[in-house]
Each structure stands twice: as structure tokens, then as C-alpha cells.
Amino acid sequence: MIRIASFLTAVLLLPVLASAVQAQEDGPPNRHRVVMDTARAARLYVSNRPEDHPAADYERAIRGKAVTDSIFAARSAGVMKFSKVTYKSSADGMVIPAYLFEPLNPKGPRAHAAMVWVHGGVHGNMDQNYLPFIKEAVQRGYAIITPDYRGSTGFGKAHHNAIDYGGMEVDDVESAVSVLQALPYVNPERIGVMGWSHGGYITSLLLTREAQGSPFKAGAAIVPVTNLLFRLSFKGPSYQRSFATQAGIGGLPFEKREEYIRRSPYYWVDSLKYPILVHVATNDEDVNFEEARPLIDAFQARQPMLAETKVYVNPTPGPTSVGHTFSRRVNRQTLERDDSPEQIDSWNLTWAFFEKHLGKN
């Protein structure tokens, strides 16, 4: 009876064993064979090769940058001194182009504060839509330099593809200080930094990076990118392709976890050394509040003496965006401020913050 029972058991188990063998041949254990959806696979595929970095219309971007140059030159006349400058990055000597805006009549030697303003965008550039805020800064006595760090558009393919998000671009921006320090009327002890979105992200890194000092005495990070581990998972493959294909990264967060952590301000809150102001919006559709709130909470909990933060709840929608540009609302025709109550409040707080930490001009 025992032999019969054993035989029956073996017979009954044959289909199960065969299935297990087939599963092992087809792939990892306990996985069923599936028909590949090639269209979906193509949408989800993310390369880690620099040659697959998303291309752009480089010539069109160069033409657009020339238009921006002419607008800055024309609108600055009689209002502020405008010039195009270059300097070398401390990272590797790369030449970085920038705009420099100065008061027409400086008070005297070392009498003025100055700031580096950092544009946003994975591949963005400093454009004319920042103009009304630059004018206001200069009228308040600040010298402003706006670097088009590596990866910025309008300077051709090589500059575009040199992008190093959270890497050497941070050194590019910091190196702009050398231009400000060479101005005889700028006090090198009164230099700040400010940025929006990706620029706010760079600002945050400049104030928190370990193992080095900072030439900046204070910084404002408006709607900043905060956590690349979260952000890439939230945005998906089309966004991930702009990161995994960068030569300095070369992969997705699960492949390059430490690299993405190193490049995420959220993980360096405890290293904050200088005062920072951070403003975010709950209806931001770029740096979504799900990403922004943990950084705000961390600064409030662990750096209350250095961090000034404010969450704007559903600020008034602008003509071209919702919350992400709530404090950069501009009439695209007149290039004047398109103020909302939240924009007025954010800038009032920002100017008060810089006057407190950089001194009044």
C-alpha cells in the first residue's frame, strides 16, 4: 500500500514539477512566462549611455538666446549696466557664460551686496522673463550675475550635453562669485545666492554641501527640487532619460543610489551652514508638494535657527502655469511683474531675508 500511495503521489505531482522546471527555464523561479508588450517596453526603457541623452534643436536655442541678449541690452539701457561675461569653472576649467547686471552709480568701494541668481530647468537658461525681478534687485543696490552653467541651452550641443545635474554644475555656479569679487564696489562678505526650481536645488546644495566652505552668506531656494530618488520615481521614464544618460551619473536610482543621494539636498539638511529661505506651493505641478513637503518639514524640525520656510496654499494660478512659477509671474508682452497677493508676499519676505543677512545697500 505504501508503494502504491507513493506512486500515486508522484503521478499527481508530475504536472507541478514540470511547471516548476519550465518556469526555471523561462526565468527566475515562480515567474510565469509572459508575452512581451514591445510598445510598452519601448516607453519604459531608459538607457544609461551618454550617446542616448535626449537631443534638442541646438540651432533654434542659439537663435532664441540671441533674442534674449538683445532684449536684455535694450531693456537695461538707462536702468542698469548690462554685460555678457565668461569665467572658468573651478570644477574643470570649463568656460561658463553669464549675464552681469550692475547699478549705474555704485556708492563706493565695498559698499554693495551682490548675488548669484540661478535659472531653472533640466536644460534651461536665463531668459528675459526674469527681467523685472533683476531690475528690482539692481535698483535695491545688488550686483547680479546669472550663470548659464553646463547643460544650459543656447550655447550649442557640447555645452548642452555637458550637463551634470547636482555635480559639476554646482561648481560652475559657485565659481561665478569670482566675477562679483572682482567688482570694486562689491563687499565679498556680502554675497548671496538665489534660484528657482532646479536653480533652487543648486542653491540648496551650495548651502549644505559637506567638506567645503561657501562664499555665500545666505540663499533663497524657491520651489526647489529636493530629492532625486523620489523625483525620478514620481516623474517616470521620459524624465528619467535626462538623468540616467548623463556621463556623471550613468544609471537610474536603483543602480546609482549613493550618487543620487549625494545629489539630493533633502539628505543634507543636517549639513546646512548658512541661512536659507525656502518657499513652496501646494499646487505646484512640477516640483509637486509630495516632493517639497519633506524638505520643508526637515528644515523646520532640524534647522529652525537657519531656515525660514513658507508653504503657499494654492497660490493664484498664473497665465502660463499653476504653482511652480507663483513668485515669477510676468506679463510676457510687457515683461513687467504680473503680481498676485502670494507673489507680493513672497518677494517682500525674500527682500527682508536678504537685507537681514547681507545688509542693506
CA Rg, the chain, in Å? Answer: 26
- What is the reported pLDDT for 321? 67
pLDDT tens digits for 53-88? 999 999 999 999 999 999 999 999 999 999 999 999
For residue 32, the Cα-to-chain-centroid distance in whole angstroms is 41
Number of CB atoms found within 10 A of residue 89's CB: 21
Segments of the chain with pLDDT less than 50? 1-27, 211
And the C-alpha cell for 271? 549639513
Taking the model in full, what pTM does it have?
0.89
Task: Give the residue carrying C-alpha cell 500500500.
Answer: 1
Evaluate whether 239 touches 286 at the Cβ level (below 8 Å): no
And the C-alpha cell for 235? 516623474
Evaluate whether 286 touches 223 at the Cβ level (below 8 Å): yes
Domains of the chain, by residue range, sit at 57-358
CA separation, residue 272 to residues 62, 90, 198 (Å): 37, 22, 18
Compute φ and ψ for 81, nearest 5 degrees: -85, 130
Pick the closest to residue 146 from 108, 196, 210, 79 (CA basis).
196
Contacts of residue 341, Cβ cutoff 8 Å, sequence gap at least 6: 316
- What is the reported pLDDT for 356? 97
- What is the reported pLDDT for 100? 98
- What is the reported pLDDT for 319? 66
Please state, in angstroms and rounded to a whole number, the distance separating the CA atoms of residues 309 and 323. Answer: 16
Please state, in angstroms and rounded to a whole number, the distance separating the CA atoms of residues 57 and 156. Answer: 9
And the C-alpha cell for 53? 541623452
Classify domain 57-358 by CATH number. 3.40.50.1820
Please state, in angstroms and rounded to a whole number, the distance separating the CA atoms of residues 185 and 183. Answer: 6
Sign of CA dihedral 332, 334, 337, 340: negative
For residue 360, the Cα-to-chain-centroid distance in whole angstroms is 28
And the C-alpha cell for 348? 517682500
Please state, in angstroms and rounded to a whole number, the distance separating the CA atoms of residues 72 and 68. Answer: 6
CA separation, residue 42 to residues 47, 237, 238, 345 (Å): 11, 10, 11, 46
Binning the chain into helix, strand and coil, the percentages to the nearest 5 are 45, 15, 40
Please state, in angstroms and rounded to a whole number, the distance separating the CA atoms of residues 260 and 231. Answer: 10
Please state, in angstroms and rounded to a whole number, the distance separating the CA atoms of residues 286 and 103. Answer: 34
The H-assigned helical ranges of 218-256 are 228-235, 237-244
Q: Amino acid identity of 27?
A: G
The H-assigned helical ranges of the chain are 2-26, 38-44, 58-76, 131-139, 157-161, 168-175, 177-181, 198-208, 228-235, 237-244, 257-262, 289-302, 341-358
